[in-house]
Chain A
Amino acid sequence: MARVTAGVATSHVPAVGAAMDLGKSNEPYWAPVFAGYEPSRRWMAQHTPDVIFLVYNDHATAFSLDVIPTFAIGCAEEFPIADEGWGARPVPKVIGHPELASHIAQSVIQSDFDLTIVNRMDVDHGLTVPLSLLFGKRDAWPCKVIPFAVNVVQYPPPSGNRCYQLGKALRRAIDSFDEDLDVQVWGTGGMSHQLQGPRAGLINKEFDNRFLDRLVEDPEGLAKMPHIEYLREAGSEGIELVMWLIMRGALDHEVAPVHRFYHVPASNTAVGHLVLENRKP
């Protein structure tokens, strides 16, 4: 049977991808960011899963305002890298797992989460930057990826609790897939940042670190945080953090933290990162 082995949370700042693509990773501005991911890269080399269920948001790339799905699951065999307006990132295309994705879609919809099924989709930095951060430069990604896009562009995104409960439904779906697969669930985006208006540049280290604490120790309580608190405390784009709760919902109640990293700034954003292992069965 398939099993969820671990969860990863990480920011997906586009400038981080650009720094890697342009060979700036060793510059003084960026070196501390990449150093913070080194322990995770080493861990990942020993724990590469068969499939990553990667929760992210599209940034006006695959989805315009014509269609705005709250939860969209990528069921295609592969996903091209998007041209976001300055050419596609020079990273490998993403190979999906249509059988597992379709199984998850059918299972989760029957658990009352009405997913949108996507069979053709370009993926943007929200999905590729986390892969680059955890795997570095590659000719091909070392595992399959199921993209799962959450609307956080047009307010309101789904609530934290909705995301957390969806994670639990996702876990049941993965656990019931009849193939021997190691699956990781990744939650991406955040942490505090605001990209618009006179309050742009907001960073809230206290909020972010408390969020990292509670994601590990008190996910049920954290899931109850209302949207207004994210907007006020973490900035208008900090609300992306609800996506981390899907990842957490898919893990065991008790998890073993492997690595934690927090850094300010990456361009306009606070970078946060966690690797959490399920305790062994």
Chain B
Amino acid sequence: MPLDKPYAGIPGTTVFDADQSRKGYHLNSFCMSLMKAANRERFKANERAYLDEWPMTEAQKQAVLARDYNRLIALGGNIYFLAKIFATDGKSFQYAAALMTGMSQEDYARMMLSGGRAPEGK
């Protein structure tokens, strides 16, 4: 019997559960490797070659190259691991969050200053 996933219906939200974690194991392990400065340098020097060292799917590699974080989450990425990619790019959590919502970073920052996203549509 499949597990009950009452959280599957929350809009705009992908819960990083055991199934997502299984799909994203190699993707997230690649992200983890970027904790080391030497690996960050190798990745920046040739992203495609570095990605090819990991047994990730082609779709995952393409999403990394495109910095498509929503797609990466759908493909099993977890935000705390994906943070290693945008940290390597010198970008903040607020930059990445704005990108995922489709807002400019300026509009997103303004929304946060005025109290954040209202929890409607939950």
**A residues apposed to B, CB below 8 Å:** 14-15, 59-61, 64-66, 83-86, 153-156, 192, 194-205, 207, 227-228, 231-233, 235-237, 264-265, 267-268, 270
Contacts and interface: CB of A to CB of B under 8 A. Distances in A.
B2 interface: no
A203 B111 CA distance: 10
Interface string B1-27: 000001100111111111001001100
A236 B7 CA distance: 10
B73 interface: yes
A263 B113 CA distance: 10
B97 A153 contact: no
Interface residues of B, number: 51
Given A199-B11, A201-B101, 8 more contacts: A65-B24, A65-B28, A155-B15, A196-B14, A197-B12, A200-B97, A203-B115, A236-B15
Contacts of A228: 6-7
Given A85-B35, A228-B6, A228-B7, A198 B70 contact: yes
9 contacts: A60-B28, A153-B80, A154-B17, A197-B100, A203-B117, A232-B10, A236-B14, A264-B116, A268-B94
A60 B92 CA distance: 16
B78 A198 contact: no
A65 to B, nearest CB: 5
Contact of A207 (B11, B13, B69, B119): B119
Given A84-B35, A268-B112, A155 B17 contact: yes
Contacts of A235: 13, 119
Contact of B7 (A200, A202, A231): A231
